[in-house]
Chain A
């Protein structure tokens, strides 16, 4: 096949680095409000009917949203196999907790209202809470770890080895900076869930969602700003040393990498990337104001802007690093040495270019069909067919 030479290897790698970001952001924008609503359920709904309103605002769409998570796994496997291999085996027990949450959540949505027993329903409500809040926290913790570098190395055969005893591997993830990153992601997704409920619910549920959401928005902005300051003064960065080629074979051991004082030198080299953290902070503040004022559509858009800014700021700051190794910087994964082959990246790009617009189009159509508020009356009248 000659066709795939049309796009050079380094360009393909940058495109797939961008698509990795698109997937993570797509996941956070869609499934993010499902997780946020899940975490809010016990607090925005005092009665069974109110809780059902909150659940049914996401009832018809969470399944599609969750595919962003699954596609994220598949796309990382296809485009960045070493990243897939290192991260999921390295964050092993944390990953199991996330999987458990993502297994419980669908079941909780679907089965909760299939029995009338109040204890049955309350148990599932807390399951929805945990399966929303815990992964929301852990995703941030994982990002915090990646920013600081993760203790792994490759053997000569390119077998990834994660260092430390199993309990250290798990507890070690929860260092203060990573926990702060976890607070950013948890509060950001609660803010997003609050913005979603403001649009889709009314009355008491909406009112409580606005209150909690606005507190979460402020917390997210504050924690994010604090993490930025911390990164300026207390977190080391990484850089590639010496000559390297961006079109070479994907072998992480071919590069020389060393630690630097901070990641934030990237803002001196590429000042335009400052737009990302600016969007994060401004978006968060506007969401806060929107929630206080009770604006519906614009608040959700501001919340999306904040998430877009926060997530892309991490990727743009670390570029070209994807997952640095703290114990053996030589093994760090970068855009230039941990992708799939040129042919695979090209084929996957063609498939994505064909299907992604279709996915976005029919997803938009489904949201349009479902447009409008979920009310206590509508849940009550359709008690058999809704969640």
Chain B
């Protein structure tokens, strides 16, 4: 039930933000759309542990801020490599994804892909292995140092 209240709230926020025209007719249409979407979601049974909008905790904004800082740093490194392409040392590596849930592993993989200079090419969920294509040696040593891994584990919280 908590899922549906959260979903209704987020959808209402989205409608109000996107419409910008506040008239009774549009409120009725919006309410009908939200009811339809919530009903469809319930019928499709997609709202479960992996799709819970209410699972967003206070840790998420903190993690995003840190991630944006990392993205900016990695961007500067890759931009320098574009200007001087002799610096690139492309390599394929494999690292562990020790997160205990699928959402955690996917978050880790997507964070790695979002950071320029590293792209996750394969995620083996059952063994918790990530295959990564990396552009620069600095990016590889950063990944192997495990800062991002610890942050994602922290974001995920205890099992």
The answer to whether A binds B is: no
Residues of B within 8 A of A (CB): none
